[in-house]
Structure 1
Amino acid sequence: MNNDIILRKLERLKAAGKPRVLDLFAGCGGISLGFEAAGFDMRGAVEFDPDAARSHGLNFHDGAPAHSEPIDITKTTPAALSLQLGLGPVAEAFDVVVGGPPCQAFARVGRSKLREIEEHPEAFIHDPRAQLYKKYLEYVDAFQPLAVLMENVPDILNHGGQNIAQETCEVLEAKGYVCGYTLLNAAFYGVPQMRERMFLIAYRHELAAEVTFPSPTHWLVLPPGYEGSRSVALKTLRDLVGDAHSYIAPPAASPDLPPAVTAEEALADLPAINARELLAEGKIARGARRFDTPVGYNRKKPSAYAELMRNWPGHAGPKEGPSDHVIRYLPRDYELFARMNPGDQYPQAYEHAVTMFEERLAAARARGDKMPEGSARYKALWDSIVPPYDASKFPNKWRKMWKDQPARTLMAHLGKDSYSHIHYDSKQARTISVREAARLQSFPDGFRLSGTMNPAFKQIGNAVPPLLARAIATQMMQTLRQAANNKEAVDEPRRAAAAVS
């Protein structure tokens, strides 16, 4: 790596220049938004999905075509990217590279399908998406950043017996970086969602910087499932006892901190959408949901969190309210949603549905309609009330939120259905809206999402919560500024170059 380039980048930061960021696998921009809020300059992004790429361009580059087109990292060289974005010499273009290679290949969810497709017991290891993190490292080589951030699912710590995070650190350390990784839960950083993710940070060794992670700002006792997930992810580390590794224990949260932001605090100021009323009035129907009708906020006093979402600097919400507060058309299930209790999952929903069927069957027979079991009308009534999924095979497919807790993890599967996040308000009896999903992920109301409802849900579910990204970015900004203002850090590359010559 060219020491003169490192020196020039440090000197630029010492002169109060904003650190310039490249976001790889950027999605719609969750990490980008957090880094922008912490004072970084978002100079470029690489994203393959067309809708997500347009969203990123809309929010960070006013829709400029060069920044809004999808880019295939497997077919785009760093030099071609630098040329497309007009950034000049590759190695001079960025100070920080961030991003999260696609997590699907690292997550336990979906491995069985991959095995079926390839008829290999460990097919998920060979999923080409799992190799995209190597492209991430190639871009690091080319752009020679002062700092690197990588995000992924906790399972990356035990991916087919491999600890991809540790291996990545070892590769970066061989390239001249100091590296560390940890597991952070978004709920500890003001996000109304219990989302556990791995974060890896690396700094050029010339900075003489230590890898640290932000201290929590909120307190929560995580449900057993989340602690269990962390234990599974750390299984590989337990096999490394006595061996050097780069894992850093997460900063501890204190019960003295403010309680975690709840779903109700996140959503209560958005207008109610009473799905059963809309259905009865013919005001909701099947079809694409477009974001062209703004809705006002309700009269409830917004929480501190809602105020932040309305007034995020640079992305404040429109005065007339968001235009993407739209929901799915699920006529069979609205009444069922009303019956469910907070915390109910699919087995409980199925039981409620069977009870509803039995009530309506009894009412029909009381009116003289015998409706014998096995008849076409009996089956039609059943199908109109009871969902078709086997309750023993889909225990986590549905979940009704608690209003007084953060939501459970939002996933990209929101793009296909939203049953994992059924609104806590039984009167509204529906799944969450696009804007509510964005709120739970800590996207401000002024953040624009390209496309219609399904791609918008997918973009939100794939994203890193901006508030968590902001906390990490603020920590990294402090480290970079301290290093840039440290004369020893700036002089070391010069001395090293002199020694070589």
Structure 2
Amino acid sequence: MLTPEQHAARARKIERLKAGAPARALEVCSGCGGLSLGLSAAGFDLAAHIEIDPEAAESYAINFGAGKRFDDPWSIARDMEHCSAEELVRDLKLGISPIDAFDLLAAGLPCQAFARIGRSKLRAIAGGKDDAFQKDPRAALYRRFLNYVVDVQPLVIVIENVPDILNFGGHNVPEEICETLERIGYRTGYTILNAGYYGVPQVRERLFVIGFADALGIAPEFPEPTHFLDLPKGYEGSRRVALKHVDENSKHFRAIHTPSRKLEKANTVRQALGDLPKIKEHIVDPKVIRRRRLTDMLPYRAPRGGVSAYAKLMRNWEGFATKRGTDGHLVRLTPRDFPIFQKMAHGADYPEARRLAETMFAAMLRKKRMTRVSRTSKAYAELRDAIVPPYDPDKFPNKWWKLDPAKPSRTLTAHMGKDTYSHIHYDSYQCRTVSVREAARLQSFPDGFKFAGAMNSAFRQIGNAVPPLLGLAVANSIKSQLADALAVLVQTAPTSTGKEQNEQKAA
């Protein structure tokens, strides 16, 4: 049930947007700004954001701060649990109350507690308890977000997370969110969107919740796919597990889009990376890589067949256009594994890499005439350690993966900040994992987008982000629906006398 003040605040926002003002966005848990990049490109005003990670907040300020100092209140890192909407508006000196400050409220809430990929780590931290992921305090942040909804009274709500939030210990969190939002005056819906369906060269499933204030008179819709992609089997299985606790009769769940085969095919890894610089210094002169900084620029190259349409988009994104080259050409130095990377087939994973390493080790034993050396000897152990990675193939079947240039990439994760072996470059000549800029390209960050911090932080920020092209598809869909709703409201606006009567009743 809305109070008269809340009704009036929503009405004021509608009148403001009807007059042609841009919708003002507040994004909570913004990360470095993947979703914000999409919102901005669609015409939303990035009025404020909240991000706890200092380096991600610095990246946000570099790219969206319009010259603001890093210690400016707009730029600094904030913890959503300890920063209210009222405090935020006061610190930013917006000159209005929180209830009038923002038209759209978005959140990319931390997914570590919800994602199955992170549950084993949480279980280990909690001493082996199976329900540790449910007790992770980050899992309750969506309730804190709902407090922001009450305080801000946005006309539009957007929430993004991993699909596993649909099956959080047998509990469908998005359904609960939608039911709560419905009780406070929103029409909501949720579904799974795959980034590959919207031009991102990556198979990445994400859950989106969209809500519109009742006063707009519309129910949310989700963007139609623009690209065709056949989901790999592993993603289909993960989707089934996530959907296990979705009631087929739910009025909030929207059927997942199935892209038409007539659409343009999904962008591939080669289309995404083919024009970026070849990096081979790690083989011939590692000192060059060690001295290179994240901000150092390298020139583009002219790939055979020309620069792809996707690469041109990444070079020419409005506000982030580049001309001769880009930065972010740092890679991990892993000399032991370079020969393995070189021999791996496209699409191969760790078990295949381990078999190749064992073969190379056996060949080296023969070459050094060490076939009869004791396996317990120091010489045998040192040679093996120099060639064979130590991970058990049964425990780490997906630890490594060599990109297939003819297909979209597999999902990038925040764990790339610690381990980039999940994305080994397809070019065997370069025999390495992907660079920061290549990871950014696979996530659809434009080449002019800058990342603060060192290499590990940049990888983490990229893996955590909403792919900007996916964010743009959602933002454009919201903008179109909002425009249609406002147009109807303009046509059905009451006379001045009737309007005054309505305001008197609301008061």
Q: TM-score range by the shorter chain?
A: over 0.9
TM alignment of 1:406-445, pairs within 5 A: 406-445=408-447
TM alignment of 1:318-357, pairs within 5 A: 319-357=323-361
Q: Which residue of 2 aligns with 1:290?
A: 293
Q: 1:222 aligned to 224, 231, 237, which one?
A: 231
Contact 1:279–1:285, Cα closer than 8 Å, also in 2: no
Distance 2:120 2:418 in 1: 19
Q: Residue 267 in 1 paired to residue 273 in 2?
A: yes
Distance 2:300 2:317 in 1: 16
Q: In structure 1, the residue corresponding to 2:187 is in which secondary structure?
A: strand
Distance 1:280 1:427 in 2: 12
Q: 2:90 aligned to 73, 77, 83, which one?
A: 83
Q: Which residue of 2 aligns with 1:115?
A: 123
Letter in 2 for 1:73: M
Contact 2:185–2:213, Cα closer than 8 Å, also in 1: yes
Q: Which residue of 1 aligns with 2:200?
A: 191
> How far apart are 1:117 and its partner, in Å?
3.1
Q: Which residue of 1 aligns with 2:15?
A: 11
Q: Residue 308 in 1 paired to residue 313 in 2?
A: yes
TM-score relative to the length of structure 2: 0.93
Letter in 1 for 2:106: V
Q: 1:136 aligned to 132, 145, 151, which one?
A: 145
Letter in 2 for 1:294: M
Distance 2:492 2:269 in 1: 45
Q: In structure 2, the residue corresponding to 1:165 is in which secondary structure?
A: helix
Contact 1:7–1:490, Cα closer than 8 Å, also in 2: no
Letter in 1 for 2:378: A
> How far apart are 1:115 and its partner, in Å?
2.8
> How far apart are 1:250 and its partner, in Å?
2.2
Q: In structure 1, the residue corresponding to 2:206 is in which secondary structure?
A: strand
Q: Which residue of 2 aligns with 1:480?
A: 482
Letter in 1 for 2:456: N
Structure 1 residues 8 and 96: alpha-carbon distance in aligned structure 2, compared to 1, 3 A threshold: same
> How far apart are 1:143 and its partner, in Å?
0.8
Contact 2:275–2:307, Cα closer than 8 Å, also in 1: yes
Q: Residue 73 in 1 paired to residue 73 in 2?
A: no
> How far apart are 1:245 and its partner, in Å?
3.8
Distance 2:285 2:217 in 1: 65
Distance 2:385 2:193 in 1: 43
Contact 2:326–2:447, Cα closer than 8 Å, also in 1: yes
**Matched positions, count:** 492
> How far apart are 1:500 and its partner, in Å?
4.9
Contact 1:46–1:70, Cα closer than 8 Å, also in 2: yes
Distance 1:490 1:344 in 2: 61
Question: Which ranges in structure 2 are unaligned for 5 or more consecutive residues?
Answer: none
Instruction: Please report the RMSD computed on the Cα atoms of aligned residues, expressed in angstroms.
Output: 1.8
Distance 2:386 2:259 in 1: 47
Q: Residue 281 in 1 paired to residue 289 in 2?
A: no
% identical aligned pairs: 48
Distance 2:286 2:152 in 1: 55
Q: Which residue of 1 aligns with 2:464?
A: 462
Letter in 2 for 1:355: T
Structure 1 residues 322 and 495: alpha-carbon distance in aligned structure 2, compared to 1, 3 A threshold: farther
Q: In structure 1, the residue corresponding to 2:368 is in which secondary structure?
A: helix
Question: Which ranges in structure 1 are unaligned for 5 or more consecutive residues?
Answer: none
Letter in 1 for 2:99: A
Contact 2:289–2:330, Cα closer than 8 Å, also in 1: no
Contact 2:425–2:434, Cα closer than 8 Å, also in 1: yes
Distance 2:250 2:460 in 1: 38
Contact 2:7–2:506, Cα closer than 8 Å, also in 1: no
Distance 1:45 1:489 in 2: 34
Q: Which residue of 2 aligns with 1:213?
A: 222
